[in-house]
């Protein structure tokens, strides 16, 4: 994970609608940047749906939500439509942001070792600086923990 207090690496990736989106587009807003392994898997779906359920609260406190995985644009589009996901989903098949944010790691599953995205979240402040890092988050509680953190900081 990158360190808190460091400048968040900028990136430009394609969203579920085929538009290019850069982190710098969100300057002046808090950004909840979450990395997840794969569209339509049980944990990733629960996590995305939790963010969708809390989306209006995130908007109310002025925070943008961005999900990133290495899935394709068309996969993101189907995932967003199937689960009514109102926030930005970015496709990173070349692992540009995933590696820049140090979430591409060796994973062990049933004794098999492979490389993959470790479910992680960054909160980036209005000036593009990493305010909080959340490694190895739980899909069911991640959105609620972030909301509690943001509200506890006195953000409007």
Helix axes 142-152, 42-53, angle to 10 degrees: 30
Q: Give 129's strand partners.
A: 7
Query: Which one of 44, 80, 89, 134 is the catalytic residue?
Result: 44
Whole-number Å distance between alpha carbons of 70 and 98: 8
Q: Supply 39's token pair.
A: 């569209």
Q: Nearest-CA neighbor of 101 among 58, 78, 70?
A: 70
Residue with tokens 């908007």: 59
49 flagged as catalytic? no
Q: Which residues pair with 30 in a beta bridge?
A: 63
Which residues are identified as catalytic?
44
């Amino acid at each position: 994970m990158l360190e808190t207090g460091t400048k968040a690496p900028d990136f430009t990736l394609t969203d579920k609608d085929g538009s290019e989106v850069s982190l710098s587009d969100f300057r002046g807003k808090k950004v909840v940047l979450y990395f997840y392994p794969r569209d339509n898997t049980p944990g990733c779906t629960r996590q995305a749906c939790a963010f969708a359920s809390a989306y209006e609260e995130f908007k109310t406190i002025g925070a943008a939500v961005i999900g990133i995985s290495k899935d394709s644009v068309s996969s993101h589009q189907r995932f967003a439509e199937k689960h009514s996901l109102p926030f930005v989903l970015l496709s990173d098949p070349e692992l540009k942001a995933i590696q820049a944010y140090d979430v591409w790691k060796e994973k062990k599953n049933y004794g098999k070792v492979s490389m993959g995205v470790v479910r992680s979240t960054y909160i980036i402040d209005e000036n593009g600086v990493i305010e909080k890092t959340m490694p190895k988050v739980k899909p069911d509680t991640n959105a609620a923990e972030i909301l509690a953190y943001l509200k506890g900081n006195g953000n409007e």
